[in-house]
A and B are shown apart, each in its own frame.
Chain A
Amino acid sequence: MKFTAKINVMPLKALLDPQGKTVTASMKRINLPEIENVRIGKHITLEIDAADQAAAEQKVEDACKKLLANPIMEFYEYSVTKA
């Protein structure tokens, strides 16, 4: 069965995110000073061939742990749906 995963990899909340900081500062320039705390990470989509939902989620978890995110600087969250 084919599944699709949508993964967000974000800089840890305790870390300075220089990209997000710069973009936050730029909000004033487009007349949106109410917007604050922009944080920028990565959005990753992928397809998985797995027997069922649980197996697909396990593979996504492995991918995040072993490669897609570095726990020293990032955290991740994902959703897996049938393709």
Chain B
Amino acid sequence: MKFGVVIFPGSNCDEDMVYVLRNIMKQEVEKLWHKEHSLKGCDFIVLPGGFSYGDHLRSGAIAQLSPIMQEVKEFAAKGGFVFGVCNGFQILCESQLLPGALLHNTHHQFVCKNVFIKAETDETIITSSLKIGAPIKIPVAHGEGRFYADEKTLAAIENNNQVIFRYCDENGYVTEESNPNGALNNIAGICNEGRNVFGMMPHPERAADAVLGNTDGLAIFKSMLNFVSA
């Protein structure tokens, strides 16, 4: 399996993502500069976190116009796997590869802390190894993570089982206190209708190496590999 990690000017979690995929998961990884016009034969594209284009205009708004994103859109349309974390999630929403938008946190502050999330479905390739409803601890670090979609879109996302992660407390209860940004329905991550494009605000790549004291994020990476090799 060959992963492609896209690097935009202002990406800052790209090296962490490459490290986890290459050194922990032992996968082949290609770094893809945003100006490139080819995905270089990658089977799985990852859009990492950061502040692409300094978050100018809106988070992800400029990045989605990068040459590589035109390739990513075509790849996704053909069913290719695309996974965005944090700013990557914002870029996928701005690209309309995922429904909804990510607004300024309700409290309008940057939030950087460990939160608990739980998988809502195991029928996606990034949650296939996770136990539904079991909380995992993953850090968030964002100022614009409040997931929003209009009522009709939100209902469709919920009915189609497109919510993959929800913020919860350490016991798995979905509460207002456990929601770090005011996201509708405590939504932390979603997939598209075709279930091949995924986005989440929390950073699993920051919780995948034992030296960091938390490996809860590993299950997400293991899911990807299990699914593909299954």
Which residues of A are found within 8 Å of B57, using beta-carbon distances? 67-68
**Are A16 and B106 CB-contacts (below 8 A) given A67-B65, A72-B150, A73-B101?**
yes
Interface pair B108/A19, CB less than 8 Å apart: yes
Cα A70 to Cα B62 in complex, Å, equals 12
**Are A72 and B108 CB-contacts (below 8 A) given A15-B103, A16-B182, A67-B65?**
no
Mostly, the B contact residues are loop
Interface pair B148/A15, CB less than 8 Å apart: yes
Which residues of B are found within 8 Å of A16, using beta-carbon distances? 106, 182
The 8 A CB mask of A38-58 against B (1 = contact, 0 = none) is: 000000000000000000000
Interface status of B195 (Cβ within 8 A of chain A): no
Cα A22 to Cα B104 in complex, Å, equals 13
Which residues of A are found within 8 Å of B150, using beta-carbon distances? 72
Cα A72 to Cα B147 in complex, Å, equals 11
Interface pair B104/A70, CB less than 8 Å apart: no
CB distance from A53 to the nearest CB of B (A): 26
Interface pair A70/B108, CB less than 8 Å apart: no
A-B CB contact pairs (8 Å), 20 listed: A15-B103, A16-B106, A18-B105, A18-B106, A18-B107, A19-B104, A67-B57, A67-B61, A68-B57, A70-B58, A70-B61, A70-B94, A70-B101, A72-B93, A72-B100, A72-B101, A72-B149, A72-B150, A73-B103, A73-B148
Residues of B within 8 A of A (CB): 57-58, 61, 65, 93-94, 100-101, 103-108, 148-150, 182
Residues of A within 8 A of B (CB): 15-16, 18-19, 22, 67-68, 70, 72-73
